[in-house]
């Protein structure tokens, strides 16, 4: 398994779309151009490759000083439970380690909570002092 923070190349587009589709994130692949532009505009993108196949990706949006937002972390279902997600998360957060706040918004699944807690995250309502998390999604 090879992890890298290299920028995605134009010829990686089909693999990126296939990866997002493989994890059921069709809202992202409905407009492939938008997805590719979003990845290009990210502060850090880390990818995991198994031979020539893209099997995982994580990305962070950040101002580099006060906030880092973990936007995506995904691993092909047939490659999950091998530590790839944890390695991707560590790789993508390393360049923003000095940033005060690292935040994310994720699905309400027990497995998600367990994974992020194992990586040092605390759910907002469990934080001391108490915090709130808000979101506004466009249809």
The CA-CA-CA angle for residues 22, 25, 31, to 5°, reads: 110
> Tens of pLDDT along 35-71?
999 999 999 999 999 888 999 999 999 999 999 999 9
Average pLDDT for residues 23-29, to the nearest whole number? 93
What pLDDT digit, counting tens, does each position of 63-112 carry? 999 999 999 999 999 999 999 999 999 999 999 999 999 998 887 777 78
Cα distances from 45 to residues 42, 64, 93, 110, in angstroms, run 7, 14, 10, 26
Strands (E), 7-121: 44-50, 53-62, 67-75, 101-104
pLDDT surpasses 90 at 21 = yes
- What pLDDT shows up at residue 12? 92
Q: What is the pLDDT of residue 1?
A: 66
């Amino acid at each position: 398994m090879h992890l890298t923070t290299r920028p995605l190349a134009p010829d990686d587009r089909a693999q990126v779309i296939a990866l997002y589709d493989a994890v059921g994130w069709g809202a992202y692949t409905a407009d492939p151009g938008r997805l590719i532009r979003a990845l290009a505009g990210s502060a850090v993108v880390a990818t995991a490759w198994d031979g020539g196949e893209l099997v995982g990706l994580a990305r962070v949006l950040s101002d580099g000083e006060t906030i880092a937002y973990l936007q995506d972390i995904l691993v092909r279902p047939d490659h999950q439970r091998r530590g790839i997600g944890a390695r991707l998360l560590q790789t993508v957060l390393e360049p923003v380690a000095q940033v005060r706040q690292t935040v994310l918004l994720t699905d309400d699944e027990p497995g998600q909570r367990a994974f992020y807690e194992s990586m040092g995250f605390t759910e907002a309502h469990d934080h001391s002092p108490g915090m709130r998390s808000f979101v506004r999604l466009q249809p």
